[in-house]
Structure 1
Amino acid sequence: MIRKRVLVAGRVQGVAFRDSCRRAAASRGVTGWVRNLPDGRVEAVFEGAEEPVAAMVAWSGQGPRAAHVTGVVVHDEPAEGLAGFSVR
């Protein structure tokens, strides 16, 4: 199991990014959470097998149709064994 924390910049708030992220993660069996940050970015944590987590990191670079992602910063972290995927 691996864990990635992503910080996504651009037009990513007010475009259903968090809910779309939750649905995309659930469809891949990835656990974690996603939230808006006060500076306009979105922060997400993805945990799971390497391939599905990598797919979620890649998804974060595009987001939902209405989003316009201008940057993604990815941090490796120790997995915590999260259950489910939540919108914070």
Structure 2
Amino acid sequence: MNDDVRLTAWVRGRVQGVGFRWFTRANALEIGGLTGFALNLDDGRVQVVAEGAREKCHGLLDWLRSGDTPGRVDGVTEIWSTPRGGYDTFAIR
């Protein structure tokens, strides 16, 4: 049974220009075993893509919703899918 998943999350609020992507990357690296990226979108949201073990992706999602993030998160929308691979690390884009 392959427990690896792909989490795609869109974070809305005041999440650009506050170090949000940097802290998301740092948190993903601290959790460990996650690859993917955090990307500023033109509409002011941040897109987070993480691949790895389901429980680790849930840990990152919990952090995104925790209130411990920089800026202000008004909401997070996520979808879960099968990992696509192709990431060496967790990057800021």
Q: Above 0.5 in TM-score?
A: yes
CA deviation after TM superposition for structure 1 residue 53, in Å: 0.6
Measured in 2, the distance between the counterparts of 1:58 and 1:67 equals 16
1:24 and 2:50 matched:
no
Question: Percent of counterpart pairs with the same letter?
Answer: 38
Gaps of 5+ in 1: none
Q: What amino acid maps onto 1:69 in structure 2? A: V
**Cα distance change on mapping 1:25 and 1:60 into 2, 3 Å:** same
1:84 and 2:86 matched:
no
Count of matched residue pairs = 87
Measured in 1, the distance between the counterparts of 2:55 and 2:43 equals 30
Alignment RMSD (CA, Å): 1.2
1:10 corresponds in structure 2 to 13
1:48 and 2:73 matched:
no
Gaps of 5+ in 2: none
Query: Would you identify which runs of 4 or more consecutive aligned residues in structure 1 move more than 3 Å?
Result: none
TM-score, normalised to structure 2, is: 0.87
Measured in 2, the distance between the counterparts of 1:20 and 1:63 equals 10
Bigger mean CA deviation after superposition, 7-16 or 74-83: 74-83
